[in-house]
Amino acid sequence: MTFPNGFLWGGAIAANQYEGAWLEDGKQPNVTDVLVGIMSRDPGIAWNEQTGKYELRLDPSKAYLSHTAVDGYHRYREDLKLMAGMGFNAFRTSIAWGRIFPNGDEEEPNEAGLAFYDDMFSCMRELGMEPVITLSHYETPLHLLTEYGGWSNPKLIDFWRRYVTTCFERFGDKVRYWLTFNEVNALFRMPFVAGGILTIHNPPDVTRPVDSTTLQDHWDAYHNFLVANAQTVKIAHEINPNCKVGCMLTCSAVATYPNNCNPANIRVAMEAQRNNVFYFGDPFCLGIVPTYLNRRWREDGVTVEFSNEELELIRNHTVDFFSFSYYRSTVVEAGVNLGGDTSGLTGIDNPYLVDKAPEPWKWPVDPDGLRYTLNVLYDRYHLPLLIVENGVGLDEQLDENGTIQDDFRIHYIEEHLRNVSRAIEDGVDCRGYLYWGPIDVVSAGTGEMRKRYGFVYVDRFNDGHGTLERSIKQSYWRYKEIIQSNGAGLE
């Protein structure tokens, strides 16, 4: 099994699923703080007639587990040591924007938030791990949605610029790898968190869900994300020419297979790739606004216009590398309605896949699809690729020995890594594999603790109880062996 020297081996988490401390040291709510699971269409906010504004109104009957999560805010030093114990040489997490600019529109940053990440990134370096830092992982400050309508408003670009400039200046000596917007291409599937948008109805339209947005809002947000991404690359390189900035897209939809060789189905599969991945990947990596969007804009009845300056910015400031999540593949045919969740697109069942993750989530497992995805992305963009999410969530309990025999997870990782190695032999420049959720965190999609991805178990449950004690699962030792042999142990 071939993995180049210097291959990044590690894991990935996100602030909102790991840290907890949702209102500590000055932080104000993020978009995820008002949801139990990002697939929910029911944010805990409500319109206040008197003030004429949205305000926080959490549902007292619900457990918002992300508010305390797995208490990473207070335990990151011990957790990072556990990660280093597996031999990680890289670790991905995000900065919660709301720790640095609590409401997003302040002029000055919050020093307590900066000091927190300063210490966390120093700790990673002390332990020999390269920090890979996401600037926004579903963590737009809630105030920017309720006050400004979020990313459909170009004002967000100004607030974002101030935030990223602060991060690049403060952490430039510790962080070389930056990711801009986590899975921003899920904008249409999850407009509230991935798009960070909200239509402000004044007076509120009670016939529509509170987070419903118009197609024009979506495309305005798309426009603003393209500009903001290019500006981020520009600012990062001006401040520190040695740093590398990558985009981060959910790429399960790259492995969208036509159900058969009916030409109509081949076209539907191609369109699914464009509409779910390439429409962001092409501007971020190739510096173009793809012409296939003109048709979609016509059909959506929206107007999207880029100025010449914006087009030049997008052309001149493409990303240095491409990072992505991959969980599954899907099968499509003409006329089938594609659904979606945090795994990617959901279409027709694929009878050729041998494994399916166990109940209750049952995401289809397609390791060959990762090889295919790596090849397609490399052929299209010719940029270094970094896998920053891949993993399996299981419902697990500690056994009488205080551990977990997570054989399915071991099998899952081995099969996916074998396909990464094959893709490298195919000629793909893949620089690393960061497993999603190396320590149990709150599930993004469902907001549960029960869905566990970790090599390290955390004693916390769906109803919120638990000691938060950490225990090591069997997969911890297997991943360590793989890393120590630089992948040779996969033979």
Which amino acid is located at 197 in the chain? I
How far is residue 439's CA from residue 11's CA, in Å, rounded to a whole number? Answer: 9
Strand ranges, E, within 196-310: 244-250, 256-258
Phi, psi of 323 (to 5 degrees): -115, 155
Query: Interface with ligand BGP includes 14 (CB under 6 A)?
Result: yes
Among 451, 452, 473, 480, binds ligand BGP (CB under 6 A): 451
Nearer to ligand BGP, 12 or 226 (CB): 12
> Which region, judged by CB under 6 A, interacts with ligand BGP, from 124-132, 169-177, 416-424, 437-445?
437-445
Q: Binding to ligand BGP by residue 33, rule CB under 6 A?
A: no
Q: Pattern 340-379, binding to ligand BGP, x per CB under 6 A?
A: --x-------------------------------------
Nearer CB in complex with ligand BGP: 330/446: 446
Closest by alpha carbon to 323, among 189, 434, 164, 238? 434
* Angle between helix 215-239 and helix 292-300 axes, rounded to 10 deg: 140
The residue sitting closest to ligand BGP, measured at its beta carbon, is: 445
Q: What is the DSSP letter of 406?
A: -
Strand blocks (E) in 265-421:
321-325, 330-332, 339-341, 344-346, 355-356, 364-365, 385-389
- Enumerate residues 385-414 that contact ligand BGP by CB under 6 A: 389, 393
Q: Which of 444, 472, 482, 483 binds ligand BGP (CB under 6 A)?
A: 444
Q: Which residue from 436, 455, 457, 479 is in contact with ligand BGP, where contact means CB under 6 A?
A: 436
Nearer CB in complex with ligand BGP: 17/153 = 17
Residue 343 CB, shortest distance to ligand BGP, in Å, is: 7
Residues 217-276 that bind ligand BGP (CB under 6 A): 250
Interacting residues of 85 by C-beta distance below 8 A, sequence separation 6+: 476, 480
Scanning 58-66, 308-316, 439-447, 479-487 for contacts with ligand BGP by CB under 6 A, the matching segment is: 439-447
Helix and strand counts by DSSP (H, E) for the chain = 14, 18
At closest approach, how far in Å is the CB of 389 from ligand BGP?
Answer: 6
Which CB, 40 or 213, lies closer to ligand BGP? Answer: 40
Residue 153 in the binding site for ligand BGP (CB under 6 A): no
Residues of span 176-205 touching ligand BGP by CB under 6 A: 182-183
From 69-77, 82-90, 403-411, 444-452, span contacting ligand BGP (CB under 6 A): 444-452
Q: How far is the CB of 216 from ligand BGP (least distance, A)?
A: 26
User: Residues with Cβ < 8 Å from 394, sequence gap 6 or more?
Assistant: 357, 358, 406, 408, 409, 451, 452, 453
Question: Judged by CB under 6 A, which of 199, 232, 443, 475 binds ligand BGP?
Answer: 443
Q: Please, what is the angle between helix 155-171 and helix 111-126, to 10°?
A: 50
Nearer to ligand BGP, 295 or 362 (CB): 362
**Running DSSP on this structure, what letter comes out for residue 88?**
-
Per the CB < 8 A criterion, the answer to whether 438 and 456 are in contact is yes
Q: CA–CA separation, 188 vs 211, rounded Å?
A: 12
User: Which residues have a catalytic role annotated?
Assistant: 183, 389
**CB of residue 440 to ligand BGP, shortest distance in Å:** 11
- Whole-number minimum distance, CB 303 to ligand BGP, in Å? 30
CA 240 to chain centre: 24
Q: Which is nearer to ligand BGP, 13 or 332 (CB)?
A: 13
Q: What dihedral angle (degrees, nearest 10) is formed by the CA atoms of 132, 136, 137, 140?
A: 160
Selected binder of ligand BGP within 213, 256, 325, 421 (CB under 6 A)? 325
Label each residue of 455-477 as H, E or C.
Answer: CEEECCCCCCCCCCCEEECHHHH
- Binder of ligand BGP out of 445, 471, 489, 490 (CB under 6 A): 445
How far is residue 254 from each of residues 83, 249, 288, 345, 395, measured CA to CA in Å?
A: 30, 10, 19, 10, 28
Range in contact with ligand BGP (rule: CB under 6 A) among 213-221, 304-312, 400-408, 440-448 = 440-448
Q: How far apart are CA 282 and CA 322, in angstroms?
A: 11
Give the whole-angstrom CA distance, residue 443 versus residue 449.
6
| Cβ closest to ligand BGP, residue 109 vs residue 437 | 437
Q: Which stretch binds ligand BGP (CB under 6 A): 238-246, 316-324, 364-372, 441-449?
A: 441-449
Binding span for ligand BGP by CB under 6 A among 202-210, 290-298, 443-451, 462-470? 443-451
Per DSSP, the three-state class of 131 is strand
Interface size with ligand BGP, residues (CB under 6 A): 15
* Interaction site with ligand BGP (CB under 6 A): 14, 17, 182-183, 250, 325, 342, 389, 393, 436, 443-446, 451
